């Protein structure tokens, strides 16, 4: 069982990374229980890949380290994705990682359990994971996280975790981490190996090419004429 944490934290040390680690510490052993060995945890720090992420947009293909990160994500049984809140939404770097991933591998997150988490300076952003502020408050409106991962066909864990600066010194964060981590673990255990929700066979992959006669037949076009 493999758990991947994607952290868009920028400072070192980073509270975003810290939140990701705390969630992984709950989910990794719970996902494999009662087996004694916890799920393997891999952490992807987007800061280290920031330039390669940008180059994916200018080049059209991911550079080697980023391609490795995409492969890790695609192979994961579960994901924890954590970002700081910037301008009332996930950070641009965080969104860009998933944009570049979906361009490279459209089905990378299909059917994959994803735990969404975010950090911010103030509790006023705490609904950022799930809700856009009402339209009347358009200036403060950001994109919530849940629809992004729904669009990518992930199975989003019911509990998202938002941690403001003050939460690190208050009661309650531990319980939310525990609940969210346990929910992720249950989905990982439940969905692992399930063929029904995993990625569909890719149309026109290298492994499964549609025979050309089928393409012609679909257009009601007869095959090529014999050589003259």
Under the rule (CB under 8 A), what is the footprint of another protein? 54-55, 58-61, 63-64, 204-206, 209-213, 215-216, 218-222, 224-225, 227-228
Dmax over Cα atoms in the chain, in whole Å?
84
For the record, the structure tokens of 202 come out as 């890719």
With b for 16 or more beta-carbon neighbours within 10 A and e for fewer, the 19-55 pattern comes to bbbbbbebbbbbbbeeeeebbebbbbbbeebbebbeb
Cβ proximity to another protein: between 194 and 220 the closer is: 220
Cβ proximity to another protein: between 61 and 168 the closer is: 61
Cβ proximity to another protein: between 135 and 203 the closer is: 203
Cβ proximity to another protein: between 172 and 222 the closer is: 222
DSSP string for 183-195: HHHHHHHHHTT-T
Smallest separation, CB 104 to another protein (Å):
11
Asked if 188 and 39 count as a contact pair (C-beta separation under 8 A), the reply is: yes
What's 207's DSSP letter? Answer: S
Cβ proximity to another protein: between 147 and 200 the closer is: 200
With b for 16 or more beta-carbon neighbours within 10 A and e for fewer, the 119-145 pattern comes to bbeeeebbebbeebbeeeeeeeebebb
């Amino acid at each position: 069982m493999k758990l991947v944490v994607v952290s868009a934290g920028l400072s070192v040390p980073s509270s975003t990374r810290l939140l990701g680690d705390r969630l992984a510490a709950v989910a990794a052993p719970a996902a494999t229980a009662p087996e004694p060995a916890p799920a393997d945890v891999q952490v992807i720090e987007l800061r280290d890949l920031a330039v390669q992420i940008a180059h994916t947009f200018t080049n059209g293909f991911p550079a080697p380290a980023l391609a490795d990160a995409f492969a890790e994500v695609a192979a994961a049984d579960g994901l924890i994705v954590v970002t700081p809140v910037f301008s009332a939404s996930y950070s641009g770097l965080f969104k860009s990682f998933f944009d570049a991933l979906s361009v490279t591998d459209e089905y990378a997150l299909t059917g994959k359990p994803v735990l969404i988490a975010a950090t911010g300076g103030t509790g006023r952003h705490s609904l950022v994971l799930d809700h856009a502020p009402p339209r009347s408050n358009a200036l403060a409106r950001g994109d919530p996280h849940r629809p992004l991962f729904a669009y990518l066909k992930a199975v989003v864990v019911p509990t998202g975790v938002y941690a403001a600066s003050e939460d690190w010194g208050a009661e309650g964060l531990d319980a939310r981490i525990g609940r969210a981590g346990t929910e992720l673990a249950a989905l990982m255990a439940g969905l692992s190996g399930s063929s029904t929700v995993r990625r569909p066979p890719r149309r026109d992959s290298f492994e499964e090419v549609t025979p050309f006669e089928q393409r012609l037949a679909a257009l009601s076009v007869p095959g090529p004429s014999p050589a003259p």
